[in-house]
Amino acid sequence: MKSKIGILITIGLLGYGIIRIGVGSALLAQTIHLVNYTELNEATMEVKQFLEERAGKQIVPFTEVTYFAFIVFMGILLTSGAVGALLRKNWGFVVLWIYISTHAALFINYQEINPKIIILVLQVILLIGLKYLRPANH
């Protein structure tokens, strides 16, 4: 039963990683004018406004392009780490912790806490649980 719950967690993390890659890639493509979907305009404008409002607070300044590229990078980390954890490889857990660190770095970079922190906390709890439920083979 432990292993089945662990597999469900890794599949959930894998799915979330794929979504991050897909959404981040679509928004990045929209931002650099590779595509032009009206459905994406609102999201890119919200991020632009978010970045402009925090321009003076950022430790590392992000443009829209670098922000979306970072989101894609985070998705790649999450997806590859989930695959590694699914295969019970220690590197998978290491990559998942690196992903958690990059997610936390965004909060630090903007020096603010927002409701998205709940996702980060949930992912930390899931990763700790996953280490117990489906430990890496050494």
Q: What is the pLDDT of residue 134?
A: 87
pLDDT tens digit string along 11-43?
999 999 999 999 999 999 999 999 999 999 999
CA pair distance 81, 99, nearest whole angstrom: 8
Three-state SS at 15? helix
Task: Give me the chain's average pLDDT, please.
Answer: 94
- Read out DSSP for 28-69? HHHHTTS---HHHHHHHHHHHHHHHHTTTT-SS---HHHHHH
The closest of 13, 44, 11, 42 to 27, measured between CA atoms, is 44
Q: If residue 74 lies in a helix (H) or strand (E), which one and from where to where? A: helix 64-86
Q: Hey, what amino acid is at 54?
A: R
Integer Cα distance of 6 and 73 in angstroms? 24
Taking the CA of residue 97 as centre, how many other CA atoms within 13 Å lie in the half-sphere pointing to its CB? 9
Residue 37 contacts by C-beta under 8 Å, 6 or more apart in sequence? 26, 30
Query: Mean pLDDT over residues 78-104, rounded?
Result: 97
Q: Look up the pTM and report it.
A: 0.92
pLDDT at 138 (0 to 100): 67
